[in-house]
Amino acid sequence: MDLGILVTVLDSALRLSIPLLAACLAGLWSERSGVVDIGLEGKMLVAAFASAAGAYVFGSAWTGLLVGIAASVVIGLVHGFASISQRGNQIVSGVAINMLAAGLTAIVGNAWYGQGGRTPPLEGDQRFGGVLFGHSALVYVVLLAVPVTWFVLGHTRFGLRLRAVGENPAAVDTAGISVTGLRYTAVIIAGVLCGLAGAYLSVGQAAGFLPNMTAGRGFIALAALIFAKWRAWPALGACFLFGLLDASANQLQGLSLPGIGEVPVQAIQALPYLMTVILLAGVIGKAIPPRAAGVPYVKER
C-alpha cells in the first residue's frame, strides 16, 4: 500500500473513531456504576441536533457544544430517573430513549427549519476547525478523556466507590455512601461524554445535523465496550479498530475482485457492522460485566 494512502486511512480512522470512543467511555462510566446504558445512540443523536441548532443560533461552535452536552445530560437524567429512582428496566428505558430521540430530532428539526429534519449548513465559527494536525479540539478532548477515565476509576477514592457500586451496592450502602448519588453522578458524566460525541458528529465532522446521522454508532460503541471488557485503554484500541474498518471501507469502495467483479458499495459499508457481530460472537460469554449492572438496587429497611 502506498504510504500516502496508509497515512490517509489512519488519519480518517482517528476521525471516525472519536464519536465511538466518547460514547464507549460514556457507557463505561454508566455501566461501572451498575446502570446499563442502551440509550447511548439516542443521547448522541439528541446532542448532535442540539449542538448544530445551538451553533447556528448563537454563531459559536463552543456554545453549540454546551447546548449539546446539556441536552444529552437531560436525556441521561431521564434514563437515570427511570432506572435508578423508579427502579425500572434499564434496557427498556434505553430503547425508549433511542426511539424518542430518533423521532423527536426529526420532528423538531423539520418544524424549526423546514428542511426535512436537517439544520441549516454551519459555516465559519459555527464549526470546529482544525487546531493541530488538522484535527479539531474535540478530538484531543476525547482522547484526553481516556487517561482521565483510567486514572479516576482506578486510582481515586471516588472511582473505587463508583466501581464498588457496580459490583456490590449493598456493601457501599452499608458503609454510609449514597448508591443513588454515585449512580446519578455516573449518568451525568456519561451524558457529558455523549454530548461530546454528538457535537463532534454535527459541528466537528459534518457541517450540520442530518436525521439519524449517528447511524448505529451508539450500538457499535456498546460492542466496543464489551470487547474492551469495560476498561478505558482497551476501549481506545477497540474504537480505533472500528474506525479503521470504517476508513478502510471508504477506501475499498469500487474494488473489483476476480470472478466477482465490482463489490457493491453496500457490502463494503456493512464491514464495520459485520465485524461488530463477529467480535461480539467471540467475546460474549468471556467478558464479565459489573455484577450489579442492570440490577435495580432496593435499599433494605
Cβ contacts of residue 220 below 8 Å, gap of 6+? 20, 242, 272, 273, 276
Asked whether 61 and 68 are in contact (CB, 8 A), the reply is no
Q: pTM of the entire structure? A: 0.90
Each residue's pLDDT tens digit in the chain (301 positions)?
567 777 888 888 899 999 999 999 999 999 999 999 999 999 999 999 999 999 999 999 999 999 999 999 999 999 999 999 888 889 999 999 999 999 999 999 999 988 888 899 998 888 988 777 778 899 999 999 999 999 999 999 999 999 999 888 888 888 888 999 999 999 999 999 999 999 999 998 888 999 999 988 999 999 889 888 889 999 999 899 888 888 877 676 666 666 666 767 677 777 777 777 777 676 555 666 676 666 666 665 5
Number of Cβ atoms within 10 Å of the Cβ of 233: 12
Alpha-helix residue ranges (DSSP H) falling in 114-216: 137-155, 157-167, 169-174, 179-199
Find the radius of gyration of the CA atoms of the chain: 20
| Residue tagged 454515585 (cell numbers) | 182
Give, as one character, the DSSP assignment of residue 126: G
State the DSSP H helix or E strand holding residue 225, giving kind and residue range, or none if neither.
helix 217-227
Name all domains of the chain by residue range, CATH numbers in brackets: 3-280 (1.10.3470)
CA–CA gap between residue 155 and residue 152 (Å, rounded)? 6
Asked whether 8 and 134 are in contact (CB, 8 A), the reply is no
